[in-house]
């Protein structure tokens, strides 16, 4: 099972189920204001995040969402190793894709989750 979660909503990883999944940060930049000592991230995969130019172009603009997804999926084709890491972790148990964006519907973790769900390993 894969799900997305805003890292600021649950920085220590504790919730209803403390062992709810393997937490992977999928942003290129570390979330502002959160100390690496006080945040529960099991793995940080920077290169799987959208390129800086794509991220800036998109700017969480809902009107650009479909085009952003297409461009991002094309970028993801270059990162098979990182994609495989996430898929391998998902085979072992629950995976939570962490992101820092305020927008919960239109962000790279949501697009990445869709991409991963459509891959047949």
- The DSSP annotation for 89-106 comes to HHHHS-EEEEE--S-SSS
Whether the predicted pLDDT of 50 surpasses 90: yes
Tens digit of each residue's pLDDT (9 = 90 or more) over 65-117: 999 999 999 999 999 999 999 999 999 999 999 999 999 999 999 999 999 99
Whether the predicted pLDDT of 55 surpasses 80: yes
Residue keyed to tokens 């099991």: 42
Domain range for 13 is 2-117
Q: What is the pTM of this model?
A: 0.91
Task: Quote the mean pLDDT of the chain.
Answer: 91
Residue keyed to tokens 């990883």: 13
Structural domains counted in the chain: 1
Whether the predicted pLDDT of 25 surpasses 90: yes
């Amino acid at each position: 099972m894969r799900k997305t979660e805003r890292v600021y909503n649950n920085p220590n990883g504790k919730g209803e189920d403390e062992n709810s999944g393997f937490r992977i940060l999928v942003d290129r930049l570390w979330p502002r204001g959160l100390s690496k000592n006080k945040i529960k991230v099991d793995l940080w995969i920077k290169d799987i995040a959208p390129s800086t130019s794509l991220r800036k172009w998109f700017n969480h603009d809902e009107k650009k969402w479909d085009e952003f997804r297409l461009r991002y999926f094309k970028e993801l084709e270059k990162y098979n190793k990182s994609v495989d890491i996430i898929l391998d972790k998902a085979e072992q148990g629950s995976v939570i894709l962490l992101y820092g964006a305020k927008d919960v519907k239109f962000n790279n973790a949501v697009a990445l989750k869709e991409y991963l769900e459509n891959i047949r390993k």
